[in-house]
Amino acid sequence: MELQKITGQRVGDHYFKYSHPTGLTIYLYPKESGNTTYAIFGTKYGSIDNCFRRSDEPGPETVPEGIAHYLEHKLFESEDGDAFARFAQTGASANAYTSFESTCYLFSCTERFHESLEILLDFVQSPYFTEETVAKEQGIIGQEIKMYDDDPQWRVMFNYLRAMYHAHPIHLDIAGTVESIAQITPEYLYRCYNTFYNLHNMALVIVGKFDKDEVLALCDKMLKPCAPVRVDRVFPEEPEAIVEPKVEERLAVALPLFQFGFKDDGGTPKTEKDLAAMEILLDVLASESSPLFRQLLDEGLINESSFSYEYFEGAGYATVMFGGESHDPEAVAKAINQEIARLEREGIPQDAFERAKRALYGENVSALNSAASIANGVLSLTLKGRELFTYIDALATVTIDEVAQKLGTLREDHSVLSVIRPL
């Protein structure tokens, strides 16, 4: 049993990587501090994976939107009952989520860890779909879709993505539409399950107090061998240009909500250094200690509690986003563009760069005290071909020139403003 030890020299921490004979990659991160042990079992399969090609088949296949999310709901059911009820018996707190690029099942507990891990490994590998249960779920998920249709935060985000992306499925709702989920059958669910829930396409991360040998022995007992099928995502060609620069809608909100940002090059894979440089740039540009934030606050254009920013990127898409509440979203967008132009003209101040770099490095090192943060971070990075300590090292070593280069990707002619105004 060959465990690869991965050490973060800067942070003085380590974890173990194990390639199980079934194809599953297992990460074991011992944490003696804290009382909680956290496990997350995830597959590289999300809402954007509606067209795919298996390595053992000649051509691509297209399936209805929303199947990844549908599968997540259905996997908790089995002939013997509900997985949540099984976790309740061990005292574990369980959950699951579907994102654009992954589906993950998790639990945390303070005792009876091995019993809970056995439940996790069992139900995720035991699909059970019938015509009756699938039809029942269509009504439940249909209600969920309608609920999100009325959610202003959800609408401002997806209006933004639809105004930015012509063809990439990132602009499609994670849950699909009422029409698309009506097409889902047990056959579709088994087809997508057997394609994406292949252990070669999955990872298991465990963080906390546990015995490595006992965990791996349980994995040997529970994991089911499967053929090494590779799955390629097939995306339509996405133009460089945006769809439209501005989109508005009216809903029941007290103040206008906005999402403003820039379309980046999604076709080039992003490294840990790319992420670090962009996140430091966003901190320099719009954190609470930045001139832009103080200006927006002083002019009453934003409120402190709602303003946010992030770099949102993945397979074939990438965008820098700012969001929040404002009585004048257009003025916020104009101020952001002006500040970007100023930084391009005058350069990024060295002291602002050093402050942002220290702040982000400190935040990420501090997150290593949380079992949940570590587990979700390791899994998210792994499914995108990245590594946790490499990312933290990138934050420590990125240069001001590398950060300044990212300013060139924030082009005004590639920007979108999405606004939800009061009725």
| DSSP letter (8 states) at residue 206 | E
Q: How far apart are CA 43 and CA 20, in angstroms?
A: 15
Helix (H) or strand (E) holding 280: helix 272-286
Residue at 1: amino acid letter: M
Which residue's entry shows tokens 């997508």?
192
Q: Pick the catalytic residue: 2, 65, 72, 279?
A: 72
| DSSP letter (8 states) at residue 59 | S
Q: How far apart are CA 189 and CA 185, in angstroms?
A: 6
Residue 281 token pair: 């740039």
Residue 166 token pair: 């012509």
Question: Taking a C-beta distance cutoff of 8 angstroms, is the pair 299, 338 a contact?
Answer: no
Helix (H) or strand (E) holding 262: strand 257-263
β-bridge pairing 25-30 and 93-98: unpaired
Handedness of CA 342, 343, 345, 349 (dihedral sign): positive
Q: Mark whether 72 is an active-site residue.
A: yes
* Bridge partners for 98 per DSSP: 103
Q: 329-346 vs 291-298: helix axis angle to the nearest 10?
A: 150
Query: What CA–CA distances, in Å, run from 190 to 63, 284, 288, 342, 347?
Result: 12, 47, 48, 54, 54
Q: Is 87 exposed, middle or buried (0-12, 13-18, 19+ CB in 10 A)?
A: buried
β-bridge pairing 415-422 and 246-251: parallel
Question: Taking a C-beta distance cutoff of 8 angstroms, is the pair 302, 332 a contact?
Answer: yes
Using DSSP, state whether 48 is helix, strand or coil.
Answer: coil
Helices (H), 76-185: 83-90, 113-124, 131-149, 152-164, 178-181
Question: Taking a C-beta distance cutoff of 8 angstroms, is the pair 46, 201 a contact?
Answer: no
Q: 272-286 vs 350-366: helix axis angle to the nearest 10?
A: 120
Q: Which residues are catalytic?
A: 72
